[in-house]
Structure 1
Amino acid sequence: MAVQTGKVNYFELITNGIIKENTIFKLALSLCPSIAVTNNLKNGVLMGVAVLFVQVMVNITISLMRKIIHPRIRLPIFMLVISGWVTVTDMSMAAAVPDVYKQMGLYIQLIVAFASILARAEMFASKNKIAPSMADGIGMGIGFLFALTVISFFRELIGKGSLWGMPIINAKPLLIMILPAGGFFAVGILMAFFNWIDIKFFKKSASVHH
């Protein structure tokens, strides 16, 4: 993503992260921690919200600092900023939702190593003003939240017969769906479906306009 010049299309910036550059379904980044926390809907949604918050705050912070960060030390600075906001998120979740935090606390801390957050800091926030950087962070964060919500929805429904811990289906659940193998299978199927939609509808409409 190049530096934004002229009039900024904020809607396009936000939808870009949800559709064209979706972290999970299009870029296939941060798959392992995503699969680890999506065996139930509650964990998946909370993890997505945590990443959304960190992504937006990191983009804003890096954009604010972009003119004073020396190019040679930019990556360590980016990592310090990311780790700072992850720490804020980690401590907030530990205080607000301790029961859920016990199950996924380690994965919240691993947000520091998410390639997608560092990539947006490097490719976009460090080169753009605050408002476009915030829009980019919102788009990428919502895209990640959307992906985790969809994955965890199907995994819990099929693997446990429940949603958000409440029984939905009386039939015998397919237990493999809540195991790591089932997680990768669900991601693969959803990734293929998401790419099919992108090719059939979005790319086709783009070619018509051209």
Structure 2
Amino acid sequence: MMIPVYFVASAVMSLSSCNNAPKNANASTNQVETVNGDHANHDHADHAGHDHGTAAEGQQPAMDNLAQGAPAQTIPAFNFYKVKSGVSFTNADIPKGKKTVFILFDPNCSHCRDEASALGKNYNKIKNVNLYFVSMNDPALMASFLETFGKELVGKPNVEVLYDRNQEFIQKIHVPKQFPANYVYGADNKLQTFWDGDKNINDIVAAYTK
């Protein structure tokens, strides 16, 4: 049974952006990634009431249902828009021969901001990866996201903030449970791994580059 797009979009947008519930064991094409609870350097002041326990081994995603399903195993055709210029950006515009990472985010999410900041501080380690921040939010909210929280990423040739005007991400790639949600595709455009929610920056860089 097909679930109406507006219903799925509403469900995603109503998620607690910084929901830090126990992490899921997410299956990928070649491996299973379990997001660990190791983020000792992360500032917990703004979500002290959240559960930071780790998922039991083999636990399935809570939203592993008709709405969520599995992520796209290869990068699908899509049409997003560059936030700064409004110019269309499609899958054909992705530079070839590099790994590609999509980060589905909410500009109001503190965990998304923390990840952008950490990635900025580690830019030299990820400069050879296509990195796309994608959001369905109002472009006005997205416009200053990197300038504010990941200034080291601004203007870099491999980094772009994209507006998902037609909610194609949740239709064609995946419906995550938490933000930020990371999807790592190899140079062959095949999914290598994914996770949602916050993750230790060293593990993020390793997943992007290994």
Global fold match (TM > 0.5): no
- TM-score of the pair, normalised by structure 2: 0.31
Q: Which structure has greater strand proportion?
A: 2
Q: Comparing both chains, which one has the higher relative contact order based on Cα–Cα distances under 8 Å and sequence gaps of 6 or more?
A: 1
Structure number with larger C-alpha Rg: 1
Q: Which structure has greater helix proportion?
A: 1
